[in-house]
């Protein structure tokens, strides 16, 4: 009897316990809230069991590599501290005026700074730039209408690159297709033997060319400038570069304030011996003085401060210079090999003449089919400030750009063009033939990297550590006025 009573009481106790559990969980007939069609006690018991289990925890982030390990990787990638180049204050003053003055454009409506503006960290925050005839600045800039009935003018074929730290002695290439390269006395450019002597560096050589481009700055034959005057620069034949540069120099020296600025910058050069190369040297001097910086957390780490990077940034550095293989191309103190590579970038926009709507990149310069779709490795200082990314701005976020490297062929084939400015949606060249041609030449160093979400996040954290605080707000570099009296963007 005692045994039977004990069993009965035990059963009664268990029944009461189950009733309490069911009631507390909204269980019982018709009391479930889990959405189970059957409702009832079974649903309530299952929910109670799940609630008693500990919530699953995300996997812990891996440990950061040691500083010794990171420094060993930096040494292998030839990363060392950079030094600031010297500049002349009078050249810098002249170059600042020239950088922001629309007098350098045929129709007097575009300046160098329109596409390389301090508000947008030496770029324009557009995937593809808008040159002659455009209205506004940065992401709000809209295309103009051609003066001779051309309709809406096209986007420029390529993204406006940043110009940070381009004054280093080891810097030797300019433009996405590296069509300008070399060092003083040995420059290779589209001008060939038309390039004047006396250019200080490859950055100054670069400044010689946007002013000759009809779409970027010079305008079309028959255009009139903002005052209604004939655009004399546009009347010159495209292949007569010396005449274009001479006409620009004449414009500048017709202005008394510019004559004074040139005299201060070049006191030993007679006015009648000044050429546009002197203006280009001054623009380069301004860019070097204003856009050179070595105070990012990463720079301070390279200089010896082990505590300036956090764990995520150090994990990202370990990936960047290690397993993710980024430093095979982004190496050296400039974080670029300055070589050209096909990384499977989606092609968007109007394309680059003469191969439009495609852009063959370096292949258009060399004529070598193996160079098609190859573009220069960009440097990465302040990269978190300079979206969109790649030669045509196809990726608008840093995370998106990093994820592209996870599997470039798949990223190219499945590219989502809805991330673009609506004006560029529909311009992605998604034909099977184009995608196959690009994919066939993708550099093997960017294949099969296979990044997971943690590694992508860590790489982004590392890339953000390349931002120099002085460049977050660059508004103080913009002049209030320029010698021509034209509006300053």
| pLDDT tens-place values along the chain, 489 residues long | 334 333 343 443 333 333 333 333 333 333 333 333 333 333 334 444 444 566 666 677 889 999 999 999 999 999 999 988 999 999 999 999 999 999 999 999 999 999 999 999 999 999 999 999 999 999 999 999 999 888 999 999 999 999 999 999 899 999 999 999 999 999 999 999 999 999 999 999 999 999 999 999 999 999 999 999 999 999 999 999 999 999 999 999 999 999 999 999 999 999 999 999 999 999 999 999 999 999 999 999 999 999 999 999 999 999 999 999 999 999 999 999 999 999 999 999 999 999 999 999 999 999 999 999 999 999 999 999 999 999 999 999 999 999 999 999 999 999 999 999 999 999 999 999 999 999 999 999 998 888 999 999 999 999 999 999 999 999 999 999 999 999 999
> Is residue 61 helix, strand or coil?
coil
> What does each C-alpha distance from 259 to 89, 122, 266, 481 come to in angstroms?
16, 27, 10, 17
First to last CA, the chain: 100
Total residues belonging to the chain: 489
Spatial distance between the Cα atoms of 20 and 27, rounded to a whole number of angstroms: 9
Contact between residue 187 and residue 180 where contact means Cβ atoms under 8 Å apart = yes
Domains of the chain, CATH where assigned: 68-82+294-471 (1.10.760.10), 89-292 (1.10.760.10)
Closest C-alpha among 99, 144, 93, 98 to residue 118: 99
pLDDT value of position 33? 32
Q: How far apart are CA 464 and CA 27, in angstroms?
A: 51
Closest CA to 111 of 91, 132, 139: 132
Cis before residue 357, ω within 30 degrees of 0?
yes
d(C-alpha 439, C-alpha 343), whole Å: 9
Task: Give the position of tokens 């051309």.
Answer: 150
DSSP 311-376: HHHHHHHHHHHTTT-GGGTS-TTTT----EE---PPP-SS--TTSTTS--BHHHHH--GGGTTBEE
DSSP per position, 390-418: TTTT-B-SHHHHHHHHH-HHHHHHT--GG
Return all residues near 205 (Cβ < 8 A) that are at least 6 apart.
174, 180, 182, 187, 189, 195, 199, 280
pTM above 0.85, yes or no: yes
- Which are the contacts of 356, defined by CB distance < 8 A and separation ≥ 6? 157, 350
Q: Taking a C-beta distance cutoff of 8 angstroms, is the pair 216, 156 a contact? A: yes
Distance, CA of 152 to CA of 48 (rounded, Å): 65
Encoding tokens for residue 399? 């995370």
For residues 443 and 87, the answer to whether their CB atoms sit within 8 Å is no
- Give the C-alpha separation, 30 to 149, whole Å: 74
- In angstroms, the CA 359 to CA 357 distance is 7
Token code pair at residue 307: 């505590």
């Amino acid at each position: 009897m005692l045994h039977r009573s004990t069993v009965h009481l035990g059963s009664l106790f268990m029944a009461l316990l189950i009733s309490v559990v069911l009631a507390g969980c909204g269980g019982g007939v018709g009391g479930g809230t889990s959405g189970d069609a059957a409702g009832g006690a079974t649903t309530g018991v299952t929910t109670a069991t799940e609630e008693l289990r500990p919530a699953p925890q995300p996997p812990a982030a891996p440990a950061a590599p040691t500083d010794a390990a990171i420094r060993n990787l930096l040494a292998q990638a030839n990363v060392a501290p950079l030094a600031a180049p010297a500049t002349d204050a009078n050249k810098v003053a002249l170059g600042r005026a020239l950088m922001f003055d629309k007098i350098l454009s045929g129709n007097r409506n575009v300046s160098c700074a329109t596409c390389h503006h301090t508000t947008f960290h030496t770029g324009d925050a557009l995937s593809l730039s808008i040159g002659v005839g455009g209205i506004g600045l940065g992401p709000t800039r809209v295309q103009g209408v051609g003066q001779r009935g051309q309709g809406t003018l096209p986007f420029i074929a390529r993204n406006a690159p940043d110009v940070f730290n381009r004054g280093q002695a080891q810097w030797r290439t300019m433009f996405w297709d590296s069509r300008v390269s070399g060092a003083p006395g040995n420059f290779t450019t589209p001008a060939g033997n038309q390039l004047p002597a006396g250019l200080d560096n490859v950055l100054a050589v670069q400044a010689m060319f946007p002013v000759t481009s009809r779409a970027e700055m010079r305008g079309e034959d028959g255009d009139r400038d903002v005052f209604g005057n004939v655009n004399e620069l546009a009347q010159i034949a495209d292949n007569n570069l010396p005449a274009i540069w001479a006409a620009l120099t004449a414009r500048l020296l017709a202005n008394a304030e510019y004559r004074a600025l040139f005299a201060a910058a070049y006191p030993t050069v007679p006015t009648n011996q000044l050429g546009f190369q002197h203006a280009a040297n001054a623009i380069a001097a301004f860019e070097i003085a204003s856009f050179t910086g070595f105070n990012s957390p990463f720079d301070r780490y390279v200089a010896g401060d082990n505590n300036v990077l956090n764990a995520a940034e150090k994990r990202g550095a370990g990936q960047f210079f290690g397993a993710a293989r980024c430093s095979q191309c982004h190496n050296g103190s400039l974080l670029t090999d300055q070589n050209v590579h096909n990384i499977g970038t989606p092609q968007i926009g109007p394309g680059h003449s003469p191969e439009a709507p495609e852009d063959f990149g370096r292949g258009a310069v060399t004529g070598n089919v193996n160079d098609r779709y190859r573009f220069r490795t960009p440097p990465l200082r302040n990269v978190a400030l300079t979206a969109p990314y790649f030669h045509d701005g196809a990726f608008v976020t840093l995370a998106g750009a990093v994820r592209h490297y996870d599997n470039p062929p798949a990223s190219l084939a499945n590219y989502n063009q809805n991330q673009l400015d609506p004006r560029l949606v529909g311009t992605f060249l998604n034909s099977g033939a184009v995608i196959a041609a690009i994919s066939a030449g993708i550099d093997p160093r960017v294949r099969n990297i296979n990044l997971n979400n943690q590694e992508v996040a860590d790489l982004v954290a590392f890339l953000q550590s390349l931002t120099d605080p002085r460049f977050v707000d660059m508004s103080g570099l913009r002049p209030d006025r320029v010698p021509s009296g034209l509006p300053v963007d």
